């Protein structure tokens, strides 16, 4: 293979690399645009409060034998307090 043929192959390889890079960047741009169309801040968006006041997460330890019983009691009390 002579020098001119090698140069042509090299140019062809470079062209393929550029085309692959272009395709990759185009796909990335499309994905970014699609991602940016979702979410954001909107008035009154999100979960509504179940109670008419601020809440706080409470964590404490309980005997394993009493976990189910305690869950029932807490869920029952919370449903009494919730805004319907």
Which pLDDT belongs to residue 73? 96
Which pLDDT belongs to residue 57? 94
Which pLDDT belongs to residue 67? 96
Which pLDDT belongs to residue 44? 83
d(CA 65, CA 71): 12
Nearest Cα to Cα of residue 82 among 44, 55, 43? 55
Which pLDDT belongs to residue 15? 82
Question: How many residues are present in the chain?
Answer: 84
19-77 pLDDT, tens digit each: 887 777 776 766 666 655 666 778 888 888 888 899 999 999 999 999 999 999 999 99
Which pLDDT belongs to residue 36? 58
For 39-75, b/e burial (b = at least 16 CB within 10 A) is eeeeeeeeeeeeeeeeeeeeeeeeeeeeeeeeeeeee
């Amino acid at each position: 293979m002579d020098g001119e043929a090698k140069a042509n192959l090299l140019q062809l390889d470079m062209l393929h690399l550029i085309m692959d890079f272009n395709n990759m960047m185009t796909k990335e741009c499309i994905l970014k645009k699609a991602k940016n169309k979702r979410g954001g801040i909107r008035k009154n968006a999100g979960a509504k409060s179940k109670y008419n006041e601020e809440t706080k997460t409470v964590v404490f330890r309980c005997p394993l034998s009493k976990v189910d019983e305690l869950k029932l009691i807490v869920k029952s009390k919370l449903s009494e307090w919730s805004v319907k």
